[in-house]
Amino acid sequence: MQTMTNEEVKRAADFFTKEIAKLADGKSLRLMEVCGTHTVAIFKAGIRQLLPENIELVSGPGCPVCVTPNEYLDTAIAYSRKSDVIITTFGDMLKVPGSSSSLAIEKAQGADIRIVYSSLEALEIAENHPDKKVIFLAVGFETTAPTAAAAILMADEAKLTNFYVLSAHKLVPPALRALLTAGDSHVDGFLLPGHVSAIIGLEPYEFLSKEYNIPAVIAGFEPLDILQSVYILLQQIRYKAAKLENQYSRIVPERGNLAACNVLSQVYQEADAVWRGIGEIPKSGLVIRKKYQAFDARLNIPIVVEETKEAKGCQCGNVLRGLLLPTDCLLFGKACRPEHPIGSCMVSVEGTCAAWYKYGAGRWQV
């Protein structure tokens, strides 16, 4: 939103909350915020408390760490145990539990695992350690995938032979189609992710209204952004005019970031991918194109990976599909806590369970 005084913000918030209550008119509605950043922003701003009780906000599969399957973690852990490998990763991957270990455990036992803040930092580590195989754990949605692609292009230009990427990039629109096709995740409207949309633009979401008649709004992350986006969704629902609208137009151009998309398509191509709790979704992942496969860790560094196992009792998959709230899981706040996560949703700062634990009412924090 544009710069506003505190009084202007209060008046705008009062307007949206009153209009939302009128539009809802006592009807029970479920709106899904797809992005994990939205989940956190909603909690921090107390948005749920401002909405009528008949409007339920549920989280979707919008946390890239959360939807990364155990098999990927097990593969990364297996690579970390090789003496000639350096693993480079974003920090929120460290504590995600695999089938029998985690990167944090392996690091504590001596594995060379380094936290980086970009793929370019991983590239620099490879340049400085020519005697090691440096593997970057490329986990993320369309927002971060172009940076991994750029690193591969730079490594190719520099003729680096010790830089590799273990890709787990995911695409958001196919996951939304999978949720709707499954039919068990009842949703009356979507708050779509602003960060992802800044890269891909509007067109990839048009199927939501055209094929499924579901209202959708690309939403910003300020409290008024979210309230206004809920207001827009309820207008569509009330007047039965499902369409795609862009509340975050100050950041999200209609066609997205063409330069980023071009880099992405140059290095990656779409492929079927497994999402935690959802299963395999057609054309929802990215794999490195043949031209750049010399940088694909899976294809160039042989490894034996343990049999993948899921944590008993963890409901992370159902939470990611909007079928359950974190508090519906018997492990939540008890066996599963941020300092000892059972499932990935309790690990990432964008994880639904982590957000509910940190910002929700303290009655389950025993």
Same domain, 126 and 196: no
Of all residues in the chain, the percent with pLDDT exceeding 70 is 98
Give me the pLDDT at residue 365, please: 43
Same domain, 153 and 189: no
Same domain, 264 and 242: no
Residue 193 has pLDDT above 50, yes or no: yes
Same domain, 83 and 163: yes
Q: Number of folded domains in the chain? A: 3
Q: Which domain holds residue 241?
A: 17-58+183-246
| Domain CATH code at residue 24 | 3.40.50.11750
Q: Which two tokens stand for residue 121?
A: 């930092």
Closest CA to 200 of 251, 272, 143, 139: 143
Starting at the edge strand found earlier in the chain, the sheet holding 29-33 runs 55-59, 29-33, 189-192, 216-218, 244-246
Give me the pLDDT at residue 350, please: 87
Strand partners, 252: none
**Residue 196 in domain:** yes
Same domain, 70 and 50: no
Same domain, 220 and 350: no
Same domain, 90 and 156: yes
Same domain, 72 and 159: yes
**Residue 284 in domain:** yes
Same domain, 101 and 141: yes
- 230/219 Cα distance (integer angstroms): 9
133-151 mean pLDDT = 97
Confidence of residue 1 (pLDDT cuts 50, 70, 90): low
**Residue 5 in domain:** no
79-97 mean pLDDT = 95
Same domain, 161 and 273: yes
Same domain, 295 and 146: yes
Residue 299 has pLDDT above 90, yes or no: yes
Give me the pLDDT at residue 364, please: 44
The pTM of this model reads 0.93
